[in-house]
Amino acid sequence: MAPKGLDYEHLNENVKKVQYAVRGELYLRASELQKEGKKIIFTNVGNPHALGQKPLTFPRQVVALCQAPFLLDDPNVGLMFPADAIARAKHYLSLTSGGLGAYSDSRGIPGVRKEVAEFLLRRDGYPSDPELIFLTDGASKGVMQILNTIIRGPNDGILVPVPQYPLYSAAISLFGGTLVPYYLEETANWGLDVNDLRNAVSQAQFKGITVRAMVIINPGNPTGQCLSEANLSEILRFCYQEGLVLLGDEVYQQNIYQDERPFISSKKVLMDMGPPYSKEVQLVSFHTVSKGYWGECGQRGGYFEMTNIPPKSVDEIYKVASIALSPNVPAQIFMGLMVNPLKPGDVSYEQFIRESKGILESLRKRARIMTDGFNSCRNVVCNFTEGAMYSFPQIRLPPKAIEAAKSAGKVPDVFYCLKLLEATGISTVPGSGFGQKEGVFHLRTTILPAEEDMPAIMESFKKFNDGFMKQYEDTRGYSRM
Ligand code: DCS
């Protein structure tokens, strides 16, 4: 028989090459165990509502009214919804062309893009053009759109931090480009050294690869560090010298758990640098409704803002966005609500602040409990989670554990994480899914389990880890950085 289009052997090789550990072997095993009735703590994905976080009331009221506009005609609507939610629902409906059931412009609703631009002006102190803001189905789709536009083939390189969130490695292989790694330094709190970037570019050039873009994740996933202003300006200067587009993944900008290094956007640093940088460096920055105290992952809302991108390139990005007709319209309303929150004096303001502060303060405590918990374990060292939603401890595996993993046909950190899962139900992602230096092992867990469950989870981790170490330890050396 003639081969058929979807026969495995004839699939697009780029599709087959893609790896995505966040939903990989550990996740599949955890799902199996759950089916068998084992209680699983899913700390593999940064999905706050799945771990019990309650949605903020006000945005849900607004979107509920937008979804059911007939409620607005009900004489009792004022008994069911606060006046500010009713006003906001009417406002957003007036911005759509036919409510939530109608496609929007493929860049998103113009009125919401204007609200994003106003937010960026307030945040950074520099004007932002709504025409250069595209709304997307989560930040993921935006990142994929931009990478797809940049990558022409295997000789195009994208500088990506290692460890990194595997959206980047996966999308780069899907589009047939080449990932050029730059290593974050664990002993320097996952900082990055511009000299390493230069080396990475020259090594790539030596192999015939032209580096065209650089990704930063700030705050970092899985590493949790917040980049300083000085570091960001060094990076931007480097991008200027090398002619690279900077892709600034800033989805965790609200998730900050220390006061020394508040979030500062790449756009603000770039504009502060003045010409020639502010006029020349091409920057695309990404944001989402999935993170922060919103955690509305399932809504799939995001945006990207383009700076110094030539109009003809913007037109091409618009054209390709148009193939998918329109981003999610309800998610666009969430984005509008996120960037244009309630103000003091609004009826729902107090409740909104109470809810959002409660979430952030609790995340801050959980970041501390986790880091301290990991650091109290045998052969585990962990940098403090300064921001984002993850803890990324290094696990110093004894040589015997590495041998045992090899004979089980597993990568050592996968072996450790599988044992952890079987023993405790804690479902993590092995560090190898994010990239790490040779011979060094990690795992990633989210800091999202409920605060009251945290001590028990850390205790159960410690019990497992210390037992594991005891089982495999001998007098020879360890894996270490
Ligand atoms: N960028 C980073 C750094 C992320 O961590 C995520 C999601 C995204 C982009 C995409 O988010 P949205 O598409 O939902 O906007 N983080 C995943 C993770 O590591 N765990 O859960 C989801």
Residue 481 pLDDT exceeds 90? no
**Ligand 1, residues 26, 43, 140: which to mutate, most atoms within 8 A of Cβ?**
140
Tell how far the Cα of 148 is from the centroid of ligand 1, in angstroms.
18
Q: With pLDDT > 90 as the criterion, what percentage of the chain qualifies?
A: 91
pLDDT at 478: 60
- Please report where in the chains the tokens 């990991």 appear, as a residue: 374
pLDDT at 477: 56
Query: Of 395, 409, 360, 358, which is closest to residue 478 (Cα–Cα)?
Result: 395
d(CA 118, CA 134): 14
- Please report where in the chains the tokens 């804690």 appear, as a residue: 426
The reply to whether omega before 327 is within 30° of 0 (cis) is no
Nearest Cα residue to atom 5 of ligand 1: 221
CA 418 vs CA 33, 54, 426: distances in Å = 11, 30, 9
d(CA 138, CA 191): 27
- Measure the CA dihedral 47/51/56/59, to 10°: 40
Residues 6+ apart with CB under 8 A from 194: 234, 235, 238
Tell how far the Cα of 346 is from the centroid of ligand 1, in angstroms.
32
Tell how far the Cα of 168 is from the centroid of ligand 1, in angstroms.
10
Per residue in 38-73, pLDDT (tens digit) is 999 999 889 999 888 999 999 999 999 999 999 999
Tell how far the Cα of 140 is from the centroid of ligand 1, in angstroms.
7
- Residues 119-139 have a mean pLDDT of 98
Mean pLDDT over each residue of the chain, to the nearest integer = 94
**Ligand 1, residues 43, 143, 165, 287: which to mutate, most atoms within 8 A of Cβ?**
165
Residue 475 pLDDT exceeds 80? no
What does the domain layout of the chain look like in residue ranges? Answer: 8-52+353-472, 94-339
| pTM greater than 0.75 | yes
Residue 131 pLDDT exceeds 90? yes
Per residue in 181-193, pLDDT (tens digit) is 999 999 989 989 8
From the alpha carbon of 221, which atom of ligand 1 is closest? 3
d(CA 218, CA 248): 7
pLDDT at 24: 79
425 confidence band (pLDDT: 50, 70, 90):
very high
Per residue in 78-103, pLDDT (tens digit) is 999 999 999 999 999 999 999 999 99
Largest CA distance in the chain: 77
Domain 94-339 coded CATH 3.40.640.10: yes
Per residue in 333-384, pLDDT (tens digit) is 999 999 999 999 999 999 999 999 999 999 999 999 999 999 999 999 999 9
Tell how far the Cα of 388 is from the centroid of ligand 1, in angstroms.
10
Pocket of ligand 1 (CB under 6 A): 22, 45-47, 138-140, 165, 167, 217, 221, 249, 251, 288, 290, 297, 302
Tell how far the Cα of 252 is from the centroid of ligand 1, in angstroms.
9
Tell how far the Cα of 47 is from the centroid of ligand 1, in angstroms.
9
d(CA 218, CA 259): 15
**CA 60 distance to own-chain centroid:** 23
CATH number of 8-52+353-472: 3.90.1150.10
Q: With pLDDT > 70 as the criterion, what percentage of the chain qualifies?
A: 98
d(CA 64, CA 177): 42
Listing DSSP states for 376-429 in one string gives TSTTEE-----BSSEE--EE---HHHHHHHHHTTS-HHHHHHHHHHHHH-EE-E
Q: What ranges in 20-137 are assigned the alpha helix state H?
A: 25-35, 57-67, 77-80, 83-95, 110-124
